[in-house]
Amino acid sequence: MGTTDSTASSLGTPTEAGRRLGAPVPEAGGAPSGAAARLARFLPALAAYGLLVALLLASDTSPGDVARYTFYAAWGVVLPGTLVFRALRRRPHTLIEDLAFGAVVGLVLELAAWAVLVGLGLQSAATAWPLAVVVPFAAVPRLRRHWLPRGYRRTSTAWNWSVAGIVGGTSAYLYAVALSRNPILPDAESTRQYIDLPYLLSLAGNAKHNVPLTFPQAAGEPLHYHWFTFVHMAMTDMVGHIDLPVVQMRLMVPALVALAMVVTAVVGHRLSGRAWVGPVAALLVFAVGEFNAVYPLNTQGWPFGAPLVPLMAWTSLSLTYSQPLLMALIGVVADALRRDGTDSGDEAVPRLGRGGYVLVAMFALASSAAKASLLPVTLAGLAVAGLMVLIGTRRIPWTIVRLGAIVGGAQLFATAVLFRFESYGLEVLPFGNIERYWADPQHTRGTAVQALVVAATLVAFLLNHQLRLVGMLPLMWRRRLRLDPVQWFLLGGAVAGPAAYLVVNGFNASYFTLAGLPFGVLLSAWGYCEVFERAALPARGKAALAAGTLAFVGLLTYGVHEYSGDWARFALDAIGDSAGAQSYTLLVPLLAAAAALAGAALVCGLLWWAAGRALPALRRRGGLVLLTAALVAGAPSLLLDVAQARQVTWDGAWPMPASQVEAARWVRAHSKPSDILVTNDHYRSNAEYGAVGEAGWNPLSFWLSGYSERSVLVEGWAYSPRLMSQKTAVFWDQPLLKLNDDAIYNPTADILRELHDRYHVRYLVADRKPVPESPLLKTLATPVFDNGRMAVYELS
């Protein structure tokens, strides 16, 4: 695909064009011009890394843990992955691309290393696994050249600092909302923690000792789930020798988010041929959130499922882990589609070559059990691209067929082997996730009114989740829908994600929407950059656009923060719903805000047109201003999340007393991985805990398996695949549950002997908060730990 208009012909030589557009330009002689030049090129990366280190240290992360994690990332992920990526790609492009794709390849390689190490019981040798890659690349002459490749092109200084600034911004955001707000280990009885975090920690602990993983809250129960995230956490622990809570609460999330931003930046350039598509896409995928007009915004304010950034970035670890994998998969698939005649916009991006198919297979397999929503959306994107190419050329697009076979094979492997066809409660029910907003059980609305409510609900959905994708509209309009295969692939994925959410019922279906978002933001950024290029703003115009954008975001953020309550009351009064009793009440502030902004845009557009008659410099540039405002309309969500984190406790932050963690950590230090635990704590509540006897109520206790890194005979079973698919809260083996609880409250020698001999139980962990354990227990088992609230007994 060539550059789209006469702008290209006015840019001069490819090198001059690259400098103007921010594209990479060849290094003189293939080597840097000196030490100062090398330092200047690496300074943005060093600055982003230094900021992250400072934020980690400020949030009570030890310098030793930071150093060990840096070693792990360099030695265990980036080095082996980069060497393998260089061997697979045909020609070098930029150093940052090699390192970014190389890091993702490293995440894939560590999955294979984990399976071998844990399967053979060689966890103690985990630090040495990269030698399996390093030694061949050092010994084999044909591979040795990949240590110091030549021919890199330099990315511009502005591009480097832009990407570094985005990474730094994400680090600062995570520090404000998570790192500075949550201790590594609960340090008081009043500590509160998001309910999922100990469960996720338990899976990482399980991954250190089991291939495949099992369900730690019910010893021996299989785990048919997307669990590759927790393999990554386990390998971080084993290779870097870093405690799992430190990995989870401090190191993993900011590192993976930073990697996702960098991968997005290089993929945006590779698939579009425009260097600035990458940074713009990175901003849209992270810094610009969902459009809303509510503050504070807790889970009841998420009208259409989980958002990508607020809360989810640091609590949905599988989502965070999956983002760089999905972006890399999009990048290598799109590169293969370029082989069908699509060229880069500035002719500066060499194709990956045949090794790209190997990369597609690697990233698809890793994505399959990183997040179950990724590959279905990717397959849909390929299906759309294949169909449109078939219609346009009347030839079978064999490249797309091959790519579909690879991705489809990975999906089949995950569905049949890893997930065992578990649905986790998802079911095909069109509009099941949103029909509550137009529900009218009493039939009080006429047909016309009901149709209006349904239409308004769908519009609200598009505005809430999809507004940042409007940049694709000018791209599609200008090409009159004559898109190339890469663009059809992106458009197909962008549409498939939200479409799946509308067809498949269940909260987890919202992850399909999030899986479609990376496809959409890449296409949206592509369209925006083309509009920006055509506007040909002078330096003053660019500065004015930047200042105006910041002012708009600031005013919008201030307005939502200060007046969202008043706005909601005004909007509800205006439609006669003062009591907030209608099914669509939650959507009214969002729709009213969108209408108000659209009205303001119309007035400003008319004024711009009138002013353009007197000021020629304004002509043909109003569309760029309007598009910029639309794209950043969701930016306040990130800023408001920072303010909210300091004022309001998130929904789902439940008690996690330090005394429980202390007992679990004692067990971890005094037990073997094969030891099984028994506890009387199965239930949780937002206030404290469910009382004994409230069977079937909120079985969400995960702290013991999480912080002990051991399996429990019966702990909290709410997240078991068996019950998620059956939509019940009753434990499936009631005799086993009774045996478990009798060991604490009604112990006998026979009960304890059966637990020890048949179920390999070594420790009983009693929580005295609901009801103290039986006094007989200390005569039948050995007391080994007591901190007042918690007691631990050993069976021998």
Report the chain (796 residues): mean pLDDT per 10 consecutive residues.
35 39 46 67 95 97 98 98 97 95 98 97 96 97 94 92 96 94 93 93 97 95 93 97 97 97 96 94 93 83 82 88 97 85 57 95 96 95 96 93 97 91 82 93 90 96 94 93 94 96 90 95 97 93 95 96 93 90 92 95 93 87 95 93 82 88 97 96 71 58 96 94 76 94 96 96 93 94 96 95
Please give the pLDDT value at position 688: 59
| Phi, psi values for residue 373, rounded to 5° | -85, -10
Q: Degrees (nearest 5) of the Cα angle 262, 268, 272?
A: 160
CB contact set of 292 (below 8 Å; sequence gap of 6+): 301, 464, 560, 589, 590, 634, 637
User: Do residues 701 and 683 touch, judged by C-beta distance below 8 A?
Assistant: yes
Of 627, 741, 639, which is closest to residue 692 (Cα–Cα)? 741
Please give the pLDDT value at position 535: 93
Please give the pLDDT value at position 514: 94
Please list the residues that pair with 65 across neighbouring strands.
none
Please give the pLDDT value at position 327: 98
User: Do residues 763 and 792 touch, judged by C-beta distance below 8 A?
Assistant: yes
Residue 300: DSSP 8-state = G
Predicted structure pTM score: 0.92
Query: Parallel, antiparallel, or unpaired: how do β-strands 504-505 and 427-428 relate?
Result: antiparallel
Please give the pLDDT value at position 397: 94
Tell me how far apart the alpha carbons of residues 255 and 265 are, in angstroms, rounded to a whole number: 16
Q: Token pair 């002012």 is at which residue?
A: 551
Residue 617 structure tokens: 């410099």
Of 420, 427, 340, 334, which is closest to residue 378 (Cα–Cα)? 334
Query: Parallel, antiparallel, or unpaired: how do β-strands 427-428 and 761-767 relate?
Result: unpaired
Q: How are strands ordered across the β-sheet holding 676-679? A: 711-712, 676-679, 761-767, 790-794, 782-786
Of 184, 186, 213, 251, which is closest to residue 111 (Cα–Cα)? 213
